Structure 1
Amino acid sequence: MSQTDAEPVRPARVRDDRVLRITRIVALLLLPFLIVAVILLSVFPDRTGELFAWPIAPPLSAYLLASAYVGGIWVFARIVRTRRWHRVVVAYPPVIVFTSALLVATLLHLDRFSQNVSFYTWFVLYLTTPFLTAWVWWLQRGRDDGEPESSDARVPIVVRGIMVVVGLASLMTGAVLFLVPNIVIPLWAWDVTPLTARVLGAVLSLPGVVSLWFLRDTRWSSFRIVFQAQIVSLIAIGCSLFAGRDALHWDRPATPGFLALVGIAFVGYVALYVGMEVLRRRDAASEP
């Protein structure tokens, strides 16, 4: 066979675990919008119809959405700074699912949105962000070499199994809120509309998709940053529930159930994080 007849040689993927410049740029571009959203939702929850994309009542729903954005700020700020791709790759599938769900919710409830600058900004962001983050994830494909860091630990299979179950439960709850909100509305812990129910369903998809990643990766270094963000979000959720406690319906079984789940999640996530950090440092100290 002549050289001209031979198939072209495709360049091998570079498995240098490097975060590309475009990945940092996209993360940096998204950060200001997240910061502004947190300020508007947290500081001015009673003026969301005027200052945000749509009127959100009661303020507790605005606080909960802000809590998700707080975790996003943590993740994207770390993406800008980190050098290794595998430390942040876990964040991309949940962000893609979350932003896609919010795009669908927006299209389903266009009549609920305010015709202001905030809405047009919201619409453009969620019209582009799912595809932009998916594109960045695709560009980074193959960069992870799959190797643990010098100071790392493997997540035990029992812990991974528990997290997968937790993730499935979170995804199922979020799916019910998103797909059949009218069934959930009378039972939910506070008053929500079909739009805010779908938004809360999208929020619940974030920890759900993260937990399913344990089926793919066992390195603790792959989850440290995302778990930091989730713990920060859970702290923000706790503050939100306290600030918006007057909106809770204590006569509904969902209210103590939701509060208990938030508390259990916080204790469990902190325990997992501390335990894995101890294991990581112990393994690092035992190496010659």
Structure 2
Amino acid sequence: MTPNGSEPAVSGERAVTVPDDRVLPLTRWVARVIIPFLAAAFLVLYGLPDRTTDLFAWTIRPEMTPIVMGAGYGAGVYFFYRVSTADEWHTVAPVFLGITTFTWFMAVATVLHWENFNHGHHTFFLWVFLYAVTPFLVPGVWALNRRWTTPAERDANAVRLPRAVRVLVGVLGAVLALSAVALFVAPGPMIASWPWTVSPLTARVLAGWFALFGVVNGVVVLDPRWSAARILVQSQLLGFALVLVGVVRVWGNFDPTNPLTWTVVGGMALYLLAIAVLYTWMEGR
């Protein structure tokens, strides 16, 4: 018997496991362990963005950067909660690749900017632990659970995203991911032109969030099922809504004479509107 009670297929003398799209118990437990770390980061960075010197692993100025980070961690809390309760692996699998990319960016940024951290603060040790472990843990869980994925072609009755939407989102994801890599390697242009002040460290951290966003959008191309994108879209709706609320909270951080201010803020607002329309439409099909 397989762990969920189904019979394995038999070929000769070897039992062949039939993929049944299960979420492994290990995957659920990893999600449950990660949630408190993300929730704590959300509360500090989003709730108290002006107190990072006292409460976080390093001092972040101005407040918009911790707000963006906090919004991302808040969306992460929702996502990993859904992982811990999901019945089908394909509904959460694509996001793991984006999170893997993000954790690699954070690990490298930590090494490159070691001197910027509050080495005596307990949150510094939590940060180092988190980004020493998760770059291996997250892809390891993905690889282990991936063998149980049911291919999309076997799900004949599934609602599918239109091809044009998948291509558009995939191209956007690829552009963002490549741009994030370029900005991480050479953050100078971002430091010089970004709508609010960023340091080399915060520029690279923001590039990590862009990379996460780009990779998860790019992966949508690989699975046409709406069920494979639903939780991703829900997480993005939450994350972008939190960021835009944050923009209103700390508008003083922005340079309104900088054209990139309106490009970035307007782009986020348009993207939030677009995915809200997409979500409503797909749920009604």
Q: Which residue of 2 aligns with 1:156?
A: 162
Q: Which residue of 2 aligns with 1:106?
A: 110
Q: Which residue of 2 aligns with 1:173?
A: 179
Distance (Å, rounded) in 2 between the aligned partners of 1:214 and 1:65: 23
Query: Does the 8 A contact of 2:46 with 2:69 survive in 1?
Result: no
Q: CA deviation at 1:209?
A: 0.8
Query: Does the 8 A contact of 1:45 with 1:63 survive in 2?
Result: yes
Identity between Structure 1 and Structure 2 (%): 33
Partner letter of residue 26 of structure 1? V
Query: Does the 8 A contact of 1:37 with 1:69 survive in 2?
Result: yes
Runs of 4+ in 1 over 3 A off after TM superposition: 8-11, 147-152
Distance (Å, rounded) in 1 between the aligned partners of 2:14 and 2:252: 62
Distance (Å, rounded) in 2 between the aligned partners of 1:114 and 1:122: 11
The question of 1:212 aligning with 2:243 is answered no
The question of 1:141 aligning with 2:146 is answered yes
Tell me how many residue pairs correspond in the alignment.
Answer: 272
Deviates more, 1:59-68 or 1:133-142: 133-142
Partner letter of residue 35 of structure 1? A
Change (3 A) 1:214 1:44: closer
Query: Does the 8 A contact of 1:166 with 1:208 survive in 2?
Result: yes
Q: CA deviation at 1:10?
A: 5.8
Q: CA deviation at 1:82?
A: 0.9
The question of 1:247 aligning with 2:253 is answered yes
Query: Does the 8 A contact of 2:94 with 2:220 survive in 1?
Result: no
Q: Which residue of 1 aligns with 2:278?
A: 272
Deviates more, 1:26-35 or 1:172-181: 172-181
Partner letter of residue 183 of structure 1? P
The question of 1:79 aligning with 2:89 is answered no
- Cα deviation 1:54-96 (Å, max 9, x = unaligned): 0000011000000111111111000111111111101110010
- Cα deviation 1:90-149 (Å, max 9, x = unaligned): 111001000110000011000000011101110010010110011111111221112476
What pairs up with 1:180-259 in 2 under 5 angstroms?
A: 180-259=186-265
Partner letter of residue 109 of structure 2? A
TM norm structure 1: 0.90
Q: CA deviation at 1:37?
A: 0.4
Q: Which residue of 1 aligns with 2:122?
A: 117
Q: CA deviation at 1:49?
A: 1.7
Distance (Å, rounded) in 1 between the aligned partners of 2:277 and 2:169: 13
Partner letter of residue 230 of structure 1? Q
SS at match of 1:114: coil
Distance (Å, rounded) in 1 between the aligned partners of 2:33 and 2:40: 12
Change (3 A) 1:263 1:236: same
Q: CA deviation at 1:183?
A: 2.0
Distance (Å, rounded) in 2 between the aligned partners of 1:9 and 1:114: 59
> Mind listing any 5+ residue stretches in structure 1 that lack a counterpart?
1-7, 280-288
Distance (Å, rounded) in 2 between the aligned partners of 1:175 and 1:12: 40
Query: Does the 8 A contact of 1:78 with 1:225 survive in 2?
Result: yes
Deviates more, 1:183-192 or 1:206-215: 206-215
Query: Does the 8 A contact of 1:28 with 1:76 survive in 2?
Result: yes
Distance (Å, rounded) in 2 between the aligned partners of 1:70 and 1:94: 16
Distance (Å, rounded) in 2 between the aligned partners of 1:54 and 1:18: 39
Distance (Å, rounded) in 2 between the aligned partners of 1:57 and 1:273: 35
Q: Which residue of 1 aligns with 2:9?
A: none
Deviates more, 1:12-21 or 1:235-244: 12-21
